Structures are given as C-alpha cells and as structure tokens.
Amino acid sequence: MTTVLEVINGSFNFLNKNVHRVLKSDSSRLHNKMMLQIMNNVESRKTWEGNFCCGATVERLQHYLKRHDIITTRQYKQIGRCRQTENHVFLTLHKPSIPDMTIIIDPTWRQFLRSYSDTYDPYLKEIYENNPFIFTGTYEDLEILYEKLEHLHLKHLHLPFFNKENLLFYKNYRELDYLTKFKLDY
C-alpha cells in the first residue's frame, strides 16, 4: 500500500507539467534560480520553489491527491490590510486515527525561505537538498525546521533571519471556499 508521503513525493512531474499551464507562464517561475544553476538547469524536486504560485500549485496538488484517494482541505490565510496584504494557500490533512492532529501539506513552503545569498551555501543546501520539496508535517514540525534554518542562516550568511513571521500563515487560517478562491492572485 502506498503511503501519503509516497504519493506526495510522486507528484513532482505532475505539478511541474501542470502548474505553469494554469499560470500561463513557463515552468522556470516555479524553480529557484540559484538551484537551477547548481543543477545545470534541470528542473527537479531539488530546484522546486513555487514563488508566488501557492494558489495554482495547491489546486493542482489537491487534484493529484484526490486521484489517489487522499482527501485534503485547502486553507487560506491573509495577513495585513489594504495594499499591504499577503496571502498564502496550503492543504491540511486530518487523520481519523488521531483526531487532534492536523498535517500541513505545503508545496510552496520554500518560497518563504529564499536565500539572500547568490552562492550555493549550507543554508540553501539545507532547504533544497536536505528537505522534501513539499512540506508535510505538523505546525510543530514546521517550527523546528524554521529554528534549524534560522541557526544556519545566521551562522553562514551572518544575517538575521527575517522569515519567521511567515509561520503566521499556518496559524488561525480558514478553509478556502468558492468565493475566496476568486480573490486570490494566481
């Protein structure tokens, strides 16, 4: 029997082929430019980022998961007001065997951790080579990952880590309904 993680990890080719079609752009927008250089311009799980593509990516991933009998819920969080708003969309999965546990499935989590470095450094390596291209875990797992990355960022780039506020996207979110969908920037 295939596990949820195996299905999620198997979604790369489907997402890489289909998300850019929804966006009506080329697939390079979905990949980190520095990692593409490192990987000789070969798009892969190790280059995937999904910057400014969360809505379209989540929609396609949810479709892919549903085809594999994995039912998820789209979640939406907006931060800010008026012209200073940011939003993010991701999926959640609830395990009936563990009713109080929510699994976050975020195919564009890396966009929040973009490196300030234009070189291949340990911070970038940790994000793109030592972690899955789709974050799958609890909020607590995400906090632990951010702590680790914050330490690497300061150690190797000698810059403070400004990305921790992005954890707010994963707190007090709401289910993405039909009307909200049309307010998103694909």
Between CA 81 and CA 86 the distance in angstroms is: 9
> Under a CB-based contact definition with an 8 Å cutoff, are residues 80 and 62 in contact?
no
pTM over 0.85: yes
User: For residues 33 and 1, which has the higher predicted lDDT (pLDDT)?
Assistant: 33
Burial (CB count within 10 angstroms: exposed 0-12, middle 13-18, buried 19+), residue 61: buried
Query: Binning pLDDT at 50, 70 and 90, where does residue 181 land?
Result: low
Q: Say if residue 62's pLDDT is above 80.
A: yes
Query: Could you read off the pLDDT of 6-27 as tens digits, one per residue?
Result: 999 999 999 999 998 888 887 7
Closest by Cα among 104, 125, 121, 117 to 169: 104
Q: How many CA atoms lie within 13 A of 128 on its CB side?
A: 27
Query: What is the per-residue DSSP string for 153-183?
Result: HHHHH-S---GGGGGGGGSS-EE--HHHHTT
Q: Say if residue 75's pLDDT is above 70.
A: yes
Overall average pLDDT of the 72-94 stretch: 89
Overall average pLDDT of the 33-49 stretch: 93
Overall average pLDDT of the 39-58 stretch: 93
Secondary structure (3-state) at 98: coil
Give 45's DSSP letter.
T
